[in-house]
Amino acid sequence: MDVRATAPRRPRPSWLDPQPDWRVDTAIAVVLALLQVGATTLAGHNQDEYGSLNVLGYLLLAAGPLSLVFRRRYPVPTLVFAFAVTATYWGLDFPRGPVFFALGTALLTCIVIGHRTAAAVALAVGWVVFTWLPYLTGTEPDPPSWIALVGLATWLAALFAVGEIVRVRRERIDEAWRVHEEEARRRASDERLRIARDLHDVVAHHISLMNVQAGVALHLMDEQPEQARTALSAIKQASGEALQELRSVLDILRQGDGADEAPPRTPTPGLGELDTLVERASAAGLDVRAAVEGTRHPLPVSVDTTAYRIVQEALTNVARHAGSAAAATIRVDYGDDDVVVEVEDDGQGAVVNGAARKGGGSGIPNMRERAEALGGQLDAGPRPGGGFRVRAWLPVHERELEREDAP
């Protein structure tokens, strides 16, 4: 499954994105400077009560928007500068117009980035300054009316609310993206672990069988060359099967690297291949018998593959540790909502060369991890009367099976 298909869309850079983008910020600064200067110049033609624009007025109108180039890298200093030049213009005898574009943009940027305290202080101070400063400097003869005070407070509250909505939405998108990335990393880690287990099982099983057969061939080479030939044929067959399974695992790795998915070279191994597994172990000189209890029924792929790999690894341990004269028995018990696989041998038991058979190798831990990943359980240890037993209980969830059967 391609986890990217269900990923929340990463927000694209925009004029309110917290990450600096010089090209976007420069374009916004230039556009707002032209808009603020041009619109205020046009509006001033019909305002006889105010003086005309001069060089200082134009500089103040342009300085605020141009400072927005630094708004995402230095949000609070940019807000302070835009506030200062806008308040200076507002307190002097210059025409009124859309002179708050730069200050509003700087305020929204601070809120979205997270400097909410600085933005709130600027809004509170701005409510006082921009209502009373013209009256105190003599630019306007009358103090501000209650309607003007309430109206400006409403606009400022709406501006803060818009900034908060954008900030919360961005935080939710970023959090959803972080959760998705963590989930993708976890799935990738689980997939790497699964592939590592498959490689271990494939390589260990076939090499163990080839090692047994090579020992037989060396022993019989001089005295019974025909039987040695049989052992060498078994080695050839085991090596070919190992290469085939390794190709399948490598195909999965290539698909994980972004290549187009293609059908696997070999079917996914499952309990349907149990007879082949027994024949392969018998050809390697092991005395292996298999018994199936209950009614065979389809299993989810994950359960089927895990059961097969557990049996395969258990037989690998028999070939390695139980001794050449050991016999192994495989039992598969199909239940209504579970399956139990058991492999036991009558070989050297839990001790090999004075050390516990379940020592430092990764075979039994891998089998246990496979079972527990499906919510199952695996027990491995000495068998009463001698030998060794591996028993795995794997639950079968009907929902998994129905999902696999769905088109």
pLDDT at residue 238 in the model: 66
Percent of the chain with pLDDT over 70: 69
Which has more pLDDT, 398 or 137? 137
Burial class of residue 32, CB neighbours in 10 A (0-12, 13-18, 19+):
buried
Q: Is the pLDDT reported for residue 2 higher than 50?
A: no
Burial class (CB in 10 A: 0-12, 13-18, 19+), 280: buried
Distances (CA, A) of 343 to 17, 357, 368: 60, 15, 14
Q: Where are the alpha helices (DSSP H) in 93-224?
A: 101-113, 116-137, 146-220
Note whether 316 and 351 are within 8 A (CB): no
Lowest-confidence segment of 170-184, 247-261, 265-279 by average pLDDT: 247-261
Query: Measured between alpha carbons, how far is 73 from 320 in angstroms, rounded to an integer?
Result: 64
Residue of higher predicted confidence among 85 and 152: 85
The domain segmentation of the chain, as residue ranges, is 13-144, 272-407
Question: Model pTM greater than 0.75?
Answer: no
Strand partners, 334: 339
Does the structure show a pLDDT above 90 at 153? no
Q: Which whole number is the average pLDDT over 89-94? A: 87
Q: What single letter denotes the amino acid at residue 30?
A: V
Q: pLDDT digits over 324-336, tens only?
A: 557 889 999 998 8
pLDDT at residue 309 in the model: 86
Distance CA 127, CA 151 (A): 10
Rounded to a whole number of angstroms, the CA Rg of the chain reads: 38
Q: Which pLDDT tens digit goes with each residue over 4-37?
A: 444 445 444 455 566 667 888 888 889 999 999 9
Least confident of 232-236, 280-284, 400-404: 400-404
Q: Return mean pLDDT, the chain.
A: 78
Confidence of residue 215 (pLDDT cuts 50, 70, 90): low
Given a cut of 70, whether residue 217 has pLDDT beyond it is no
Q: What is the pLDDT of residues 357-386, one digit of tens each?
A: 444 456 788 888 888 888 899 999 888 878
Q: Which fold has domain 272-407?
A: Heat Shock Protein 90 (3.30.565)
SS3 388: strand
Over residues 306-328, mean pLDDT: 78
Q: What is the pLDDT of residues 29-81, one digit of tens each?
A: 899 999 999 988 888 887 777 778 889 989 999 999 999 999 888 999 999 99
Confidence label for 149 from pLDDT (cuts 50, 70 and 90): confident
